[in-house]
């Protein structure tokens, strides 16, 4: 397949997401209560980013990038396909349970949410979004700028419901999570040549980080005090990327090192920038290393997964969103797969990612 045809196929059939973090062990998460959250001053969980933290916002907009149909949600409570791009719960759902806020983080665009649901946190994330303003335009999804607008709208709604002072305290004591970036590279930069004509890889990495830093500044201006930023995964190891860039689709499906190398460089740059912007009296900002645990799973160094370069849905080579549908064949045991479809990890993979990051989460929460 010619490179330009691969890019066209990527843009029309797929979107890539960055992998998030913060998955807890279900047994512990389910035993924590709201009192735990109060003890550690976590009032709510707010989420921004792309599809691994989108619990269904895309259900409410005009886009093909949706997953509110089987087999998505196969292992979610009551087997409901809510719009989450995996077989079960998202990392942010488990995070909310872990801190004792709620069982699952709902999408902000769900108009049926009660004031109580709103008060304990929502996700503004949109599958296929990214830090580069051009990325969501390609897919017709919610940009990071629009997600911030929704957050301001959310605050206004809350002030009407519970008052300005209570709203300010709630925001001050909330945890904020940001996960995006992979779409910017795989769908955007290495897709249409628009960005490559203006940016080298290095300058594009710097551009994305500056967009992220502006977003963090906006959150701080809105009262956020605890912010977690997820790095990039080994992008070259996503099954869809292997399919689109590999010379051999069926044998030796190894990771595309050039793309994974870009992710590693980006992550180092991001960590350095976080250290620079941290100020005394400013928001607490932490970095989540997603690359290491995921590459350990994929390369078989830990955890014992049997399938690491294909998804559980369909052939696992290209199926995602509409291509992973009720007519698709599904693997008998998703726990043996790192990836649910050709892009998104399984629930089990997310849980391992959380466990690798437990100490950082506890640090944010103030847990000794």
How does pLDDT run across 158-167, given as a tens digit for each residue? 999 999 999 9
pLDDT band at 121 (very low <50, low <70, confident <90, very high): very high
pLDDT given for residue 29 in this prediction: 33
CATH 3.40.50 matches 3-290 = yes
**Alpha helices per DSSP H over 278-305:** 291-298
Catalytic residue, chosen from 18, 184, 344, 351, is: 344
Tens digit of pLDDT for each residue in 272-282? 999 999 887 88
DSSP three-state, residue 181 = coil
- Residue 337 designated active-site: no
Confidence of residue 19 (pLDDT cuts 50, 70, 90): very low
The question of whether 248 is a catalytic residue gets the answer no
As a whole number, mean pLDDT of residues 288-314 equals: 92
Asked if 92 and 47 count as a contact pair (C-beta separation under 8 A), the reply is: yes
Answer yes or no: 344 catalytic.
yes
In the three-class reduction of DSSP (H, G, I as helix; E, B as strand; rest coil), residue 295 is classed as helix
Q: Considering only residues 93 and 264, tell me which one the structure prediction assigns the higher pLDDT.
A: 264
As a whole number of angstroms, the distance between CA 129 and CA 136 comes to 5
Q: Which candidate in 179, 341, 351, 356 is catalytic?
A: 341
Question: Backbone dihedral region of 140: left (phi > 0), alpha (psi from -120 to 50 degrees) or beta?
Answer: left
pLDDT in tens, 307-346: 999 999 999 999 999 999 999 999 999 999 999 999 999 9
**Residues 337-360: pLDDT tens digits?**
999 999 999 999 988 888 887 777
Q: What angle do CA 102, 48, 170 make, to 5 degrees?
A: 50
- pLDDT at position 21, please? 31
Say what the pTM is: 0.89
Q: Which of 24, 43, 51, 97 is catalytic?
A: 51
Question: Using CA atoms, how far apart are residues 8 and 11, in angstroms rounded to an integer?
Answer: 5
Per-residue confidence band for 248, with pLDDT thresholds at 50, 70 and 90: low
Find the radius of gyration of the CA atoms of the chain: 19
What's the average model confidence in pLDDT over 55-66? Answer: 97
pLDDT for the residue numbered 249: 62
Q: Which three-class secondary structure state does DSSP give residue 48?
A: strand
- The Cβ of residue 298 has, within 10 Å, a number of other Cβ atoms equal to 22
Residue-wise pLDDT for 188-197, tens only, equals 999 989 999 9
> Which tokens go with 18?
């960055």
Question: DSSP string of 187-248?
Answer: IIITSSTHHHHH--HHHHHHHHHHHHHHHHHHHHHTT--EEEEE----GGGSHHHHHHH-S-
Average pLDDT over residues 151-174: 97
How sure is the predictor about 41, in pLDDT bands with cuts at 50, 70 and 90? low
Encode burial over 310-330: b for 16+ CB neighbours within 10 A, e otherwise: bbbbbbbbbbbbebbeeebeb
Strand ordering across the sheet containing 226-230: 45-49, 175-179, 226-230, 284-288
């Amino acid at each position: 397949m010619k490179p330009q045809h691969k890019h066209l196929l990527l843009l029309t059939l797929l979107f890539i997401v960055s992998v998030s973090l913060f998955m807890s062990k279900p047994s512990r998460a389910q035993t924590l209560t709201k009192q735990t959250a109060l003890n550690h001053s976590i009032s709510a969980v707010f989420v921004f980013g792309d599809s691994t933290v989108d619990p269904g916002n895309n259900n409410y907009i005009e886009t093909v990038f949706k997953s509110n149909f089987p087999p998505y949600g196969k292992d979610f409570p009551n087997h409901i396909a809510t719009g989450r791009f995996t077989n079960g719960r998202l990392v942010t759902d488990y995070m909310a349970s872990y801190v004792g806020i709620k069982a699952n983080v709902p999408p902000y665009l769900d108009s049926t949410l009660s004031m109580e649901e709103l008060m304990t946190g929502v996700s503004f994330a949109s599958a296929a979004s990214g830090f580069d303003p051009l990325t969501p335009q390609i897919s017709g999804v919610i940009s990071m700028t629009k997600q911030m607008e929704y957050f301001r709208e959310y605050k206004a709604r809350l002030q009407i419901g519970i008052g300005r002072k209570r709203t300010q305290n709630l925001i001050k004591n909330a945890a904020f999570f940001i996960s995006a970036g992979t779409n910017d590279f795989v769908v955007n930069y290495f897709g249409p040549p628009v960005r490559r004509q203006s940016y080298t890889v290095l300058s594009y990495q710097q551009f994305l980080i500056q967009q992220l830093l502006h977003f963090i500044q906006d959150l701080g201006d809105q009262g956020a005090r605890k912010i977690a930023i997820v790095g990039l995964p080994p992008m070259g190891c996503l099954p869809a990327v292997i399919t689109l860039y590999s010379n051999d689709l069926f044998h030796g499906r190894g990771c595309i090192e050039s793309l994974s190398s870009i992710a590693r460089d980006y992550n180092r740059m991001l960590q350095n920038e976080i250290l620079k912007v941290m100020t005394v009296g400013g928001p607490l900002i932490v970095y989540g290393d997603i690359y290491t645990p995921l590459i350990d799973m994929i390369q078989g160094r830990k955890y014992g997964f049997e399938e690491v370069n294909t998804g559980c849905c369909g052939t696992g080579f290209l199926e995602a969103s509409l291509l992973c549908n009720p007519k698709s064949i599904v693997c008998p045991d998703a726990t043996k797969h790192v990836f649910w479809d050709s892009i998104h990890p399984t629930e089990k993979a997310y849980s391992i990612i959380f466990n690798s990051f437990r100490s950082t989460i506890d640090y944010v929460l103030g847990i000794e």
